[in-house]
Amino acid sequence: MRIYLDRSGLTITYLFAVLVVVIMTFPQTVNAEKKKNYSVSPGTYKVLTTSRKLSDESRYSEAINILKKQLPTILQNQYETALIHQHLAYIYLEQKNYSKAVAELEATLKGSDTLPPDSIQSLRYNLAQVFMQTEQYGKALPIINQWFKQEKKPTADAYYLKGLAYYKLNQFSSAVAPLKKAIALSPHEDWSVLLLSIHLEQKHYRKAAVVLNHLLDLYPGKKKYWLHLTDVYLMLKDYAKALATLKLAYTSVSLEEKDILRLAQLYLHNAIPLTAAEVLSTNMQNKNIKSNAANLELLANSWAMAREHKKELKYLQQAATMKDDGRLYKRCGQILLQMERWNEAIVMLKKGLAKGDIKQPQQSYLLIGIAAYNANNFKTATWAFTQAGKYKKTKKTAENWLQQVNQKMNELKIS
């Protein structure tokens, strides 16, 4: 997190310069603010200007020493004491010595009654930021809230700081309003991402979708937001919007293989198998996705849902051969059986059985028997139905088929 030395992000050198001008232009006794004395003695004025010059030259130790030496001489002047502590705080901030900066800022605020209201507000804001930088969020938040009570027109940065403090303290619900206000005043990508993380943490997915859509309006070329929005819609089980989002991403940004595969799966889930098959085919040809067994099977499934069984068989056979998988061989056999390509079906079904890794092998035996019967291969049919008859679930069906085989053989006078 960036630390600002002032609400406007002023540098320490500039702050010193402004302070000197302020000191020089203040009336020697009374400011326009109701009878407050903001005069500075010549000795303190000289110390402040000298410390500024030394700090400009990065001679911080010398600047600190002359400021500290001045303190015992002005203990009765609360305003000058506060100015010295304020200068010390800014030097320590410049050195990133946050523990000492905190001590000096707190010392400055002890004399806050003697300082102009704007200076007090700046000091509070700076102290809150230092506490945030040093991860003392519990100390930062009360100061931020106090600052807001006195501030007529808080900036977007201030609202973000408040939201961040609540977030760091795991007070997620309280963090939302200031973050939304900050984003409304000045859209920042990081701020929206923080708000998004809060909604996701609270499982407020519809609110997360709103933030992601806003991010995509601003950064349409950022792939991660397309993918996050797809995930959010999937969490909401809004598969149509998930598909629409990933479809837009597909035409807007370059997707990785896993995202293209998910797009195809979403097309299938939304019962648009032809487009799923086209996406897979195109990207296999373009080498955007691998032509491996898993992807070929997904392509085959897409053609199956589209009722394009010849294409289904083509890619399923490729997947089965590549993977040497009994389950896939069995599926090929079933398709070939439906196409009445009896002998090819027998070959594939036998391959599946030979692998020994298929569930319910009795079904494969029945299918082989049916294919063989229709091909007038009664010897193979008898063997297959006999094997199927050894299983309780298919015993009765197998026996009925065996009777038909025997009857057919008798009709054809085959022994």
CB neighbours of residue 306 within 10 Å: 18
Burial class (CB in 10 A: 0-12, 13-18, 19+), 240: exposed
Measured CA to CA, the distance from residue 7 to residue 126 in angstroms comes to 8
User: Within a domain: residue 107?
Assistant: yes
User: Within a domain: residue 325?
Assistant: no
Query: Model-level pTM greater than 0.85?
Result: no
User: Within a domain: residue 381?
Assistant: no
User: Within a domain: residue 59?
Assistant: yes
Report residue 154 CA to chain centroid gap.
30
Burial class (CB in 10 A: 0-12, 13-18, 19+), 117: exposed
The pLDDT profile of the chain, 415 residues, written as one tens digit per residue, is 333 333 333 333 434 443 343 333 333 333 444 455 667 899 999 999 999 999 999 999 999 999 999 999 998 888 899 899 999 999 999 999 999 999 999 988 886 677 888 889 999 999 999 999 999 999 999 999 999 999 999 999 999 999 999 999 999 999 999 999 999 999 999 999 999 999 999 999 999 999 999 999 999 999 999 999 999 999 999 999 999 999 999 999 999 999 999 999 999 999 999 999 999 999 999 999 999 999 999 999 999 999 999 999 999 999 999 999 999 999 999 999 999 999 999 999 999 999 987 889 999 999 999 999 999 999 999 999 999 999 999 999 999 999 999 998 888 877 5
Measured CA to CA, the distance from residue 373 to residue 397 in angstroms comes to 14
Measured CA to CA, the distance from residue 133 to residue 345 in angstroms comes to 71
Give the closest residue to 255 by CA, choosing from 232, 282, 291.
282
User: Within a domain: residue 86?
Assistant: yes
User: Within a domain: residue 18?
Assistant: yes
Give the closest residue to 130 by CA, choosing from 163, 185, 93.
93
- Give the residue numbers spanning the domain of 43: 1-134
User: Within a domain: residue 246?
Assistant: no
User: Within a domain: residue 323?
Assistant: no
Q: Per the structure, how many domains does the chain have?
A: 1
Measured CA to CA, the distance from residue 379 to residue 333 in angstroms comes to 19
Provide the H-helix boundaries in 57-204. 60-70, 78-94, 98-110, 117-133, 137-150, 156-168, 172-185, 189-201
